[in-house]
C-alpha cells in the first residue's frame, strides 16, 4: 500500500467514542422482545419465539420481555444482568433474506453481534427461519458461561410503572452485596478497579460484519476492536483510536497516529 494513502487516512481520523470491551459471559440472561422493529405484529412468523428457543437450546437463559413475572428474582431487581436480543433485517436484494442479531446491554450499548444470516428461499416464513438459524451459528459456537462481575451497574426499576429510577444507582460488590448510592463519587469508590492490559496483536481475530465495517473478536470471545470502512480498499479506521488497520502485500497491519506516521504492527485477522 502506498504510504501516501496511509498518511491521508491517518490525517482524516476523527475522535470516536471508545468501544467497551465486554463479553457476553458478563451477563446472566437474554431478554427477547415480543416484536422486532421490521415487523408489524408480535412474534410474526414465530421469529421471536424461535430466537428465544435457540438461545435456550444453546445454553443461554432467555425470557420474553413481557413475561416479567417469570423473571428470576435477581433479574427483576437488576435488569443489567441481561442482554436484550435485537434482530434486524439487512439489505439482501430481491431473492435474498439477511438477518443480524445484536445483543445490547441495559444502556443500549452493543456487546456482540452475530454473523449475517442468509436465505434465498422465497417463502417468507421459511426464509426468516433459515436466515435466523444461520445468524445464530455465531452464538451456537460460543463457549458461553456466565461469570459474575464485581462492577455490574444496576438500573432500579419501579415495580408499579416499569420505568427506570435514575435517582438511585446500585453497584454489586465482589461479595454480591448491593451497595446503594446517589453520588457518582461513591459509585466510583465501590467499583473494582479495572487494570488495562496491552493488546496482543499476534492473537487470531475473527472479523464479524457489522453496519459500516467489522468488529474483531478474540477467542474468549470479546470484541477487541471496531473497524470502520473507508473509501480506500482494505483500509479501516479503528473506532475510538487515531489508528487504521490496512492490508499490504497480503498481510494485515495496525498503524497508530501519534503525531507522525508510526510503525505498523502485523495482525492475524480471519475474515
Mean pLDDT of 263-270: 84
Burial class (CB in 10 A: 0-12, 13-18, 19+), 68: middle
Q: Which residues pair with 92 in a beta bridge?
A: none
pLDDT of residue 92: 67
Ordered structural domains, the chain, with CATH? 3-19+197-270 (no CATH), 28-140 (3.40.50), 153-190 (no CATH)
Cell of 165: 429510577
Tell me what the pLDDT averaged over the chain comes to.
76
Residue 145, Cβ neighbours under 10 Å: how many?
8
Phi and psi at residue 191, to the nearest 5°: -65, 140
Give the Cα separation of 33 and 195 in Å (integer). 35
Cβ 215 vs Cβ 227: under 8 Å: yes
Q: What is the pLDDT of residues 77-123, one digit of tens each?
A: 888 899 999 999 988 667 889 999 999 988 788 899 999 999 999 89
Is 206 in a helix, a strand, or coil?
A: strand
Reported confidence tier of residue 262, pLDDT bands at 50, 70, 90 = low
Q: What is the pLDDT of residues 44-80, one digit of tens each?
A: 999 999 999 999 999 999 999 989 999 999 998 888 8
Q: Please state whether the predicted TM-score (pTM) of the whole model is above 0.85.
A: no
Helices marked H in the chain — which ranges? 3-11, 47-57, 73-77, 124-135, 137-140, 184-190
Of 219, 203, 265, 220, nearest in space to 238 by CA: 265
Give the Cα separation of 25 and 210 in Å (integer). 21
Amino acid at each position: 500500500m502506498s504510504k501516501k494513502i496511509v498518511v491521508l487516512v491517518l490525517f482524516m481520523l476523527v475522535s470516536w467514542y471508545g468501544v467497551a470491551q465486554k463479553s457476553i459471559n458478563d451477563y446472566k440472561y437474554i431478554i427477547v422482545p415480543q416484536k422486532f422493529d421490521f415487523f408489524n405484529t408480535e412474534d410474526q412468523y414465530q421469529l421471536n419465539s424461535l430466537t428465544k428457543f435457540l438461545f435456550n437450546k444453546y445454553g443461554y437463559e432467555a425470557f420474553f420481555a413481557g413475561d416479567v413475572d417469570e423473571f428470576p428474582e435477581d433479574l427483576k431487581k437488576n435488569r443489567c444482568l441481561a442482554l436484550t436480543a435485537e434482530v434486524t433485517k439487512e439489505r439482501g436484494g430481491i431473492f435474498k433474506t439477511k438477518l443480524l442479531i445484536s445483543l445490547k446491554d441495559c444502556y443500549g450499548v452493543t456487546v456482540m453481534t452475530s454473523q449475517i444470516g442468509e436465505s434465498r428461499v422465497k417463502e417468507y416464513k421459511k426464509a426468516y427461519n433459515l436466515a435466523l438459524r444461520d445468524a445464530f451459528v455465531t452464538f451456537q459456537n460460543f463457549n458461553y458461561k456466565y461469570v459474575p462481575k464485581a462492577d455490574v451497574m444496576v438500573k432500579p426499576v419501579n415495580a408499579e410503572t416499569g420505568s427506570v429510577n435514575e435517582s438511585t444507582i446500585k453497584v454489586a460488590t465482589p461479595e454480591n452485596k448491593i451497595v446503594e448510592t446517589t453520588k457518582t463519587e461513591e459509585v466510583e469508590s465501590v467499583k473494582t478497579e479495572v487494570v488495562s492490559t496491552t493488546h496482543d496483536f499476534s492473537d487470531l481475530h475473527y472479523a464479524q460484519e457489522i453496519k459500516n465495517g467489522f468488529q474483531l473478536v478474540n477467542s474468549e470471545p470479546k470484541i477487541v476492536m471496531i473497524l470502520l470502512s473507508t473509501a480506500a480498499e482494505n483500509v479501516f479506521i479503528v473506532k475510538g483510536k487515531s489508528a487504521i488497520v490496512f492490508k499490504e502485500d497480503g498481510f494485515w497491519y495496525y498503524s497508530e497516529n501519534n503525531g507522525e506516521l508510526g510503525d505498523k504492527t502485523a495482525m492475524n485477522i480471519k475474515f
